[in-house]
Amino acid sequence: MKHSAGQTDLLVRVLHVGEMGSCCYLVGTKDGEGMIVDAGDEAGRIVQSVKETRVIPQFIVLTHGHADHIGALDEVRAAFPDAQCCIHAADAAMLERPSLNLSLFLGRGFKRKLADRLLRGGEVLELNVDASAEQAGRTQGSPLRGGEGAEGGRTQGSPLQMNAIHVHVIHVPGHTPGGICLHIPEAKVVFTGDVLFAGGIGRTDFPGGNADLLLKGIREKLLVLPPETVVYPGHGPSSTIGEEREGNPFLRE
């Protein structure tokens, strides 16, 4: 699907991967920088789809640390070594602990390599919309600014950063302690991981879950977004903030 982000068409491709049908998203612009959201399973499909879209992955962002969202991570990182892997600091340990990422309970306990960057919410990831930025001498990994987790603040990169797509990191704990959503205001889309679904919300009966925190975060940080904002969840079909605000049975007061 394409969304208008100013004068740029933002490409969003969804892959339903693995036994649980987790949503892996490829986000970016043709011949421009982009990101992979949740490399959950089927690494070969993910890598092939990235090549088909001609998006240059700058980030691999994990909405949380559960097994069905991180299973293909190491293989995808190996295929795109320049892409920086990001996860919220509160979920970072899940990558190395099968009991926390729940892979142990699925009968195939596994560990994944540590992330390159730890987020805390409030950061803005910048995706250059022109691949010529690669030849403009930008500093590797520089387009991360703001937020408590931006190490050393904003690093100067390519001059083409002014023509960028901005991905706002929103911390919404409750499904996991470090659950995050990714909001792109220019394109009116938000990737919600297992925080918010079409007609549902994330489970809170796993280790680190908290129903009160989850509902509070959804109401205060997501439902305040423009109603036409498209919701791309971690499982199932897309919806909009307006549809969830009006019809999601779990969000009724």
This prediction's pTM? 0.89
pLDDT of 138 reads 42
Asked if 242 and 248 count as a contact pair (C-beta separation under 8 A), the reply is no
With bands split at pLDDT 50, 70 and 90, how would you rate the model's confidence at 154?
very low
CA-based angle 198:203:207, to the nearest 5?
A: 155
Q: Residue 19 burial by CB count (10 A; 0-12/13-18/19+): exposed, middle or buried?
A: exposed
- Strand (E) or helix (H) holding 243: helix 241-247
Mean of the per-residue pLDDT values for the chain? 88
What residue ranges define each of the domains in the chain, with the CATH number in brackets? 2-251 (3.60.15.10)
Structure tokens at 239: 């919806």
**Which tens digit of pLDDT belongs to each residue from 102-130?**
999 888 899 999 999 999 999 999 998 77
pLDDT at 208 over 60: yes
First-residue to last-residue Cα distance in the chain: 33
